Amino acid sequence: MSLTDDQIIKLELKANEIRQDIVKMLLEAGSGHSAGPLGMADVFTAFYFHILNHKPEDPSWSDRDRLILSNGHICPVRYATMAHAGYFPIEELLTLRKLGSRLQGHPERLRLPGVETTSGPLGSGLAQASGYAYAARMDGKKFRVYAFCSDGEHDAGNHWEAAMFAGKYKLANLTALVDRNNIQIDGFTEDVMPIEPLVEKYKAFRWNVLEIDGHNIRQIVDAVDEAKAVHDRPTVIIAHTIPGKGVDFMENLPEWHGKPPNIGETIEALAELRTLAGKIQSEHE
């Protein structure tokens, strides 16, 4: 699944478009989370446009890879990426958090085709994904299961129960990706409830551990390829990301974990992202 330079440019530009849509969605909704969705745009773009084996025109295709989003509050990035990938019209993104919308503040499996689980309670996603991976192996299925988790939800005990389960049963068809952005709703993770040393903890639970720059498309793809080559244990990819990535006044600030931009902030953010898109193009010309 190696990438050419042209493919990387296209993916970087797509991630930028997705960030712009996230900002617009949050303004229209008047509520929601900014930092996490912006920080995970590169990861979601790499998965939906290069890594996942899926069919947007057939969301229930039985052989599709499963992507379980544990930290459901960052769903604006999943919705925006899915829309760009062809699951539903991009115009529908502006219904985020509206009454009756398919795009609720936390994903609901029965509302939107292509969403694998209803998520919201933090710490549950890895358990759901581990059970899915275990059942898939029992049934002889070849699809892969991916679990996207936040670093803050490592505070939850059930997350570590799932890690222990996956390690014991050597679920090599399972890959977890941790959004290591160092913030959660009450502040910085290492102030609220320190989770380091994270690498050593996962290794102790019998996981293969990889660390990457979560904004480097090539590193994201290469890490997934490496995970596929490991056949005796699950893999966790610790993706170091910048919360609020692409919008200077949001970056690395816990206060943007759970609030949307106002109109003035939206105008500033979109201008910055459009400038960044121009830089991406010019740097590769």
- Which CATH code fits 5-283? 3.40.50.970
What pTM was computed for the model? 0.97
pLDDT more than 70, % of the chain: 99
| Helix%, strand%, coil% for the chain, nearest 5 | 50, 10, 40
Residue 277 has pLDDT above 70, yes or no: yes
- pLDDT category at 285 given cuts 50, 70, 90 is low
Q: Name residue 240's beta-bridge partners.
A: 180, 213
- Read off the amino acid at residue 44: F
Residue 159: the pLDDT is 98
Q: Check: CB of residue 97 under 8 Å from CB of residue 144.
A: no
Summarize the confidence of residues 66-78 as an average pLDDT: 98
pLDDT-wise least confident of 30-34, 119-123, 141-145, 244-248: 119-123
Confidence of residue 176 (pLDDT cuts 50, 70, 90): very high
pLDDT attached to residue 1: 59
CA 254 vs. chain centroid, Å, equals 18
Question: Mean pLDDT across the chain, nearest whole number?
Answer: 97
Instruction: Answer with the residue of higher pLDDT: 145 or 121.
Output: 145
Task: Give the span between the Cα atoms of 15 and 46, in whole angstroms.
Answer: 9
pLDDT over threshold 80, residue 284 = no
Q: Look-up: residue for tokens 């689980």?
A: 117
Q: What average pLDDT does range 261-283 have in this prediction?
A: 95
